[in-house]
């Protein structure tokens, strides 16, 4: 992939996260404004970004429509929708549903905390598999060679003090997850939050995704979240049963 195409795709993702001015986009990519403007105009003409009246660039209508079509084609999201909302009614916590799509772990659905606490996560966002609850429970169900493949291009960043420091530490935790059937994220990606997570398999027993309950640490500890582990496991089993 050429540098210009890669940068164009990264621009689309950047403004989809939050509207940006030409200057902010140029500064982010460390590229001259004239070059950035030419690329933005091309992307805008294709409908993937939109230039607002205030001069900022945001996600375009075509991007939004394409993303919705892609989401609608995900069987896991469709099958799990009612089940995770039933779980939310019982627990009140933020719920994340993630799916293994190709070589990426992607949030495909989310229900926010009943008290209005909003996490930075969003549907469509890829997540690092080695330091998130859903990522680790998915890795734990995969053959060693597939785990190697998924982690091959990962830049191992220690996001917080509790991020696992290396592959050996991750392998040990994956073994624990396989043994007990669930895993945790102890503030490993974002230090203010924690979660418990369980894997979701299809009718053949193959791993397809992960389901998690998330809370702010100051509101609920991992041990407090574990009170809802039976409900989380029950929901996961029901979604797995429903998957063709």
Q: How far lies 198's CA from each of 79, 87, 166, 226, in Å?
A: 16, 13, 22, 12
pLDDT tens for the chain, residues 1 to 244: 677 788 888 888 888 878 889 999 999 988 899 988 998 898 888 888 889 889 899 888 777 666 665 554 457 888 899 999 999 999 999 999 999 887 788 899 999 888 766 667 788 888 899 999 999 999 999 999 999 988 987 889 999 999 999 999 999 999 999 999 999 999 999 899 999 999 999 877 889 899 999 999 988 999 999 999 999 999 999 999 988 6
| Same domain, residue pair 106 and 56 | no
What was the pLDDT predicted at 205?
84
14, 35, 68 — which closes off a domain? 68
- Statement to judge: residues 46 and 150 lie in one domain: no
Residues 123 and 174 in one domain: yes
Bridge partners (DSSP) of residue 96 are: 110, 212
CA dihedral 52, 109, 124, 212 (to 10 degrees): 130
String of DSSP letters for 177-194: HHHHS-EEESSSSSTTEE
pLDDT of residue 72: 46
What CATH number is attached to the domain comprising 181? 3.30.450.40
Are both 96 and 151 inside the same structural domain?
yes
- Domain count for the chain: 2
Secondary element (H or E) of residue 60: none
Q: How far apart are CA 202 and CA 76, in angstroms?
A: 9
- For residue 73, what pLDDT is reported? 46
Statement to judge: residues 44 and 130 lie in one domain: no
Say whether both 56 and 169 belong to one domain.
no
Model-level pTM? 0.71
Residue 109, domain extent: 74-242
Q: What is the CATH number of the domain that holds 34?
A: 1.10.10.10
Please tell me whether residues 183 and 98 are part of one structural domain: yes
């Amino acid at each position: 992939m050429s540098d210009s195409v890669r940068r164009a795709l990264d621009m689309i993702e950047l403004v989809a996260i939050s509207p940006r001015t030409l200057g902010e986009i140029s500064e982010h990519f460390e590229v001259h404004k004239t070059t950035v403007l030419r690329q933005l105009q091309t992307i805008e003409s294709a409908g993937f970004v939109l230039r607002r009246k205030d001069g900022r660039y945001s996600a375009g209508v075509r991007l939004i429509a394409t993303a919705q079509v892609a989401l609608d084609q995900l069987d896991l999201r469709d099958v799990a929708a009612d089940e995770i909302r039933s779980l939310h009614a019982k627990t009140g916590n933020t719920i994340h549903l993630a799916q293994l799509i190709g070589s990426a772990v992607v949030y495909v659905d989310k229900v926010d905390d009943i008290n209005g606490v909003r996490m930075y996560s969003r549907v469509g966002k890829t997540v690092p598999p080695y330091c998130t609850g859903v990522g680790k429970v998915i890795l734990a169900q995969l053959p060693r060679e597939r785990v190697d493949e998924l982690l091959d291009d990962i830049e191992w960043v220690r996001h917080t003090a509790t991020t696992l420091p290396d592959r050996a530490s991750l392998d040990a935790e994956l073994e624990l997850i396989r043994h007990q059937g669930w895993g945790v994220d102890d503030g490993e990606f974002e230090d203010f939050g924690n979660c418990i997570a369980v894997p979701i398999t299809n009718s053949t027993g193959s791993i397809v995704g992960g389901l998690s309950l998330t809370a702010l640490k100051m509101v609920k500890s991992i041990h407090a979240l574990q009170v809802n582990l039976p409900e989380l496991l029950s929901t996961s089993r029901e979604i797995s049963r429903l998957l063709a």
